[in-house]
Amino acid sequence: GESVGLHLPTLSVQEGDNSIINCAYSNSASDYFIWYKQESGKGPQFIIDIRSNMDKRQGQRVTVLLNKTVKHLSLQIAATQPGDSAVYFCAESPDNAGGTSYGKLTFGQGTILTVHP
Amino acid sequence: KAGVTQTPRYLIKTRGQQVTLSCSPISGHRSVSWYQQTPGQGLQFLFEYFSETQRNKGNFPGRFSGRQFSNSRSEMNVSTLELGDSALYLCASMTRGRTRDTQYFGPGTRLTVL
């Protein structure tokens, strides 16, 4: 059938605001979740991760929240800066037998974050 | 430590040709995964190699293949190229490929099929 391009959600914020990017995941067996940032012309860059036995993890200016009940993940960026403008992806990794995902991450569609000075 | 490197960065091929892309993982990483990124389908898993063995494969036709060498460097090959193979091909490495290992991505190879 005809393929349809992904229409990525967009989030536009002012510099200094806090940003919240949301992600719904589908696999209840997923054990590990990661947020990546991808700038134009570059590969995805690791931001922060969280394991399924946690519901919150903080990094430098970023916080990830995990709600396993509704299978929802969010990334909060504090004091957003123009350099944060990028596409943000959540990714999930299943916990196959033996704790080995064999390298397979399932990515969300991504969210375009634009930060205005 | 040097990051994941991919060569070449850009490629232009015509339909029916074949192409080989190369990936050098972070030193000490033994697992290499490959992904295809397109505007229509997003990021999709192709396959993963560990210790020269393919351990996992995504839903791609047999035209897509890969291999890994004893130094953990990996190559992927696409034969009989189709227009729809135009994409950014990303390689990611991690230590052992366990569920909670972090995958680090290279800059990608942009393949255009004419």
A19 to chain B, closest Cα gap in Å: 23
Interface test with A, best of B86, B99, B105, B110 (most A CBs within 10 A): B99
The pLDDT, as a whole number, for residue A116 is 95
The pLDDT, as a whole number, for residue A98 is 54
Given pLDDT bands bounded at 50, 70 and 90, which one contains residue A100?
low
- CA atoms of B10 and A41, how far apart (whole Å): 11
Given a cut of 60, whether residue B87 has pLDDT beyond it is yes
Over the stretch A5-52, which tens digit does the pLDDT of each residue have? Answer: 567 899 999 999 999 999 999 888 888 899 999 999 899 999 999 999
Over the stretch B98-107, which tens digit does the pLDDT of each residue have? Answer: 767 889 999 9
Contact at CB, A45 and B105, closer than 8 angstroms: yes
Contact at CB, A103 and B100, closer than 8 angstroms: no
The pLDDT, as a whole number, for residue A31 is 84
Over the stretch B11-63, which tens digit does the pLDDT of each residue have? Answer: 999 999 999 999 999 999 999 999 999 998 999 999 999 999 998 899 999 99
The pLDDT, as a whole number, for residue A38 is 97
Contact at CB, A32 and B99, closer than 8 angstroms: yes
The pLDDT, as a whole number, for residue B44 is 96
- CA atoms of B62 and A10, how far apart (whole Å): 36
| Side-chain-side CA neighbours of residue B61 (13 Å) | 8
User: B13, exposed or middle or buried, with CB in 10 Å at 0-12, 13-18, 19+?
Assistant: middle
> What's the whole-number mean pLDDT along residues A67-81?
95
